[in-house]
Structure 1
């Protein structure tokens, strides 16, 4: 077989260098691929063993269908893909197999039947939001699967296709949890206005918005294997990382307040309210008996609390002293978080950064950079 040469790099005019194990998908490192291989090995083997135990040695019933192998590729190699989510795997395979079986009963010509089965499977999966590429193979298998599939009839989409899919998805959930990977994938959450007003949230008042994303996708004229919500989250993370690269020289340790007012977990709401008003602050870190952070409390949580009631503790936003201070920007502008608690490696409070602290830092940084640019410009003009 003759392998065509790779295309030239338009900018440099040079051929791109081929790298062994170079990922074709973002984030697909060699480590991630090896984890995916192990997951597929376990998933397919256990699915076959379970189905063999349930179905026995009945030669008239397929033990495991071939499309499940393709489902395993998506489930374990690209678990964040919308095409690899539980409903896509279970619904896509089952619905497509049902379409395939139905077509065999209606269309006598096999060549026409195989085309209709795959085409209608794509349409059905699209309408049910269960698009799954192996579903096309499931529909095809239902048409040309041979005597065993033909004898199964309308049972084939459920036994073994749905059973195979259910077992594989269950194993995938357990495997990804043990591997500390997120599955099912939860799409990124767009910023929201927490004040119940008509204004857009602060993060959406400048920069790109949802309409810009829709326009860019429409202009590309491509169907992307990533959800719109994930595109939004990725672009916002890119913006943050670029900002950290440009202005990330200051760390949390540089700007944090070190004399932190804290309260123990058994403090009364009245005393917590007194400290907040006395020190004119909006957030109090709450410590447990080991002096470690338990959460935070503010005037919002204390509103309406009766004397003698239990202290209402909320989850705390935290960071490390060595983290870039500019990296706190998304949390301190989400409309709900007023301060980030800085913890050491032992989980003890060493500082706190409020919205005011970060705003003052940004103002100084912008002022300093502006002055530097003016001085550089004057120097160049002399």
Structure 2
């Protein structure tokens, strides 16, 4: 059912359109995230200034904290995932740029030429050292027009206070983000590899877009994006998954899981587990502890080189809840390492298992219902 927008909604939309220039363009820029960023900047700048005061003794001839650190704090606490906000970018970018600025001041006497050269050469130096950081331009400029205090410090200025300021701010940032549950420094998405040690790309990456497509798309935009190619690849694949969940996310894990699950106890031997796997023609066995809770999984790959009486080589289990969308398991069951996802309840008791076969059969059925040619596959679902 389509509901026509009310006059109030239309009026509100009209007002917002007039102020579209004030709409945040950053994805994920929620009010909560911005408030966390404000708190981080408050703590980071105050602590940096306080510690620098203790270290440098509040020297009236030396700035306690340089202005570019304020811009660094914006990046560090408001967009911590940005490549421009990483530790080396902040410390290296500010320090190297300040060093460039001092060097330019030493050899160029014309102020107008000096300020231009300082910023331009700072960009070049940061690019060559992979430490591009926008506040670095301000650090270079400060080294040129900072006045008597900066001139008196000379080549010490890039290190005291610029490098000290930057190091302290990064240290506070790492601690703050850890306490607030954020990831910093940002860990770039890892490029997928074929776990079977062949030249083929992983199965999930043989169709759809690839890295060459991403490079071509970015080149066509003719813009520099504030995100790494690996992160962009991961983001686009997550978008694909979310679209699939929206279109076919009505089926839950409980709908397609195998319920008669073959398991082994934690104290079973390798020979007992191997027998269970071969008798039932399956590849993955959930391992249960003494209270019947999931302790992990074991598979034929791990048991291949084990002696019959050896203890089980237990691996961490891939798990899901019965109410989770079944299509959401697609990335895990196509990564080349996981053959089955164990479905558990809140007490970590096994209620079912979903294998690659189960998910493939579900996708085949879904495709056939849309009129696309697809064969319906069947078979025992536990880790085939």
**TM-score, normalised to structure 2's length?**
0.89
Asked whether 1:222 is paired with 2:218, we answer no
- Alignment match, 1:104: 105
Cα offsets for 1:219-262 (capped at 9, x unmatched): 11001111111111111111111111111111101001122222
Alignment of 1:176-215 (within 5 A): 176-215=177-216
Matches of 1:63 and 1:180, distance apart in 2: 30
CA contact (8 A) 1:23 1:29 kept: no
**Which segments of 5 or more consecutive residues in structure 1 lack a partner in the other structure?**
1-11, 373-382
Query: How far is the alpha carbon of 1:176 from its aligned partner?
Result: 0.8
**TM-score, normalised to structure 1's length?**
0.90
Query: How far is the alpha carbon of 1:93 from its aligned partner?
Result: 0.6
Alignment of 1:184-333 (within 5 A): 184-333=185-334
Query: How far is the alpha carbon of 1:22 from its aligned partner?
Result: 4.5
Matches of 2:18 and 2:306, distance apart in 1: 66
Q: State the secondary structure of the residue aligned to 1:16.
A: helix
Alignment of 1:79-118 (within 5 A): 79-118=80-119
User: CA distance change for structure 1 residues 145 and 20 in 2, over 3 Å: closer, same or farther?
Assistant: closer
Matches of 1:268 and 1:35, distance apart in 2: 51
User: CA distance change for structure 1 residues 13 and 315 in 2, over 3 Å: closer, same or farther?
Assistant: same
Matches of 1:347 and 1:184, distance apart in 2: 32
Q: State the secondary structure of the residue aligned to 2:343.
A: strand
- Alignment match, 1:141: 142
Matches of 2:337 and 2:237, distance apart in 1: 18
Cα offsets for 1:115-155 (capped at 9, x unmatched): 11110000010011110000001111111111111111111
CA contact (8 A) 1:21 1:30 kept: no
Asked whether 1:169 is paired with 2:170, we answer yes
Query: How far is the alpha carbon of 1:306 from its aligned partner?
Result: 2.9
Cα offsets for 1:156-189 (capped at 9, x unmatched): 1111111111111111111111111111111223
C-alpha RMSD of the superposition: 2.1
Q: State the secondary structure of the residue aligned to 1:366.
A: helix
Cα offsets for 1:32-83 (capped at 9, x unmatched): 0011001111111111111111111211222111111100000000011110
- Alignment match, 2:40: 39
Matches of 1:269 and 1:106, distance apart in 2: 74
Aligned residues: 361
User: CA distance change for structure 1 residues 17 and 100 in 2, over 3 Å: closer, same or farther?
Assistant: same
Query: How far is the alpha carbon of 1:211 from its aligned partner?
Result: 0.7
Comparing 147-156 with 298-307, which one deviates more in the overlay?
Answer: 298-307
Matches of 2:285 and 2:185, distance apart in 1: 35
Q: State the secondary structure of the residue aligned to 1:60.
A: coil
Query: How far is the alpha carbon of 1:217 from its aligned partner?
Result: 0.6
Cα offsets for 1:337-371 (capped at 9, x unmatched): 10011122233322110001111111111112218
- Alignment match, 2:4: none
Q: State the secondary structure of the residue aligned to 2:207.
A: coil
Q: State the secondary structure of the residue aligned to 1:284.
A: strand
User: CA distance change for structure 1 residues 129 and 208 in 2, over 3 Å: closer, same or farther?
Assistant: same
User: CA distance change for structure 1 residues 134 and 289 in 2, over 3 Å: closer, same or farther?
Assistant: farther
Comparing 355-364 with 312-321, which one deviates more in the overlay?
Answer: 312-321
Q: State the secondary structure of the residue aligned to 2:370.
A: helix
Comparing 348-357 with 28-37, which one deviates more in the overlay?
Answer: 348-357
Matches of 1:56 and 1:293, distance apart in 2: 58
Q: State the secondary structure of the residue aligned to 1:271.
A: helix
- Alignment match, 1:352: 353
- Alignment match, 1:4: none
Comparing 49-58 with 39-48, which one deviates more in the overlay?
Answer: 49-58
Comparing 12-21 with 360-369, which one deviates more in the overlay?
Answer: 12-21
Comparing 103-112 with 116-125, which one deviates more in the overlay?
Answer: 103-112
Comparing 344-353 with 172-181, which one deviates more in the overlay?
Answer: 344-353
Comparing 76-85 with 301-310, which one deviates more in the overlay?
Answer: 301-310
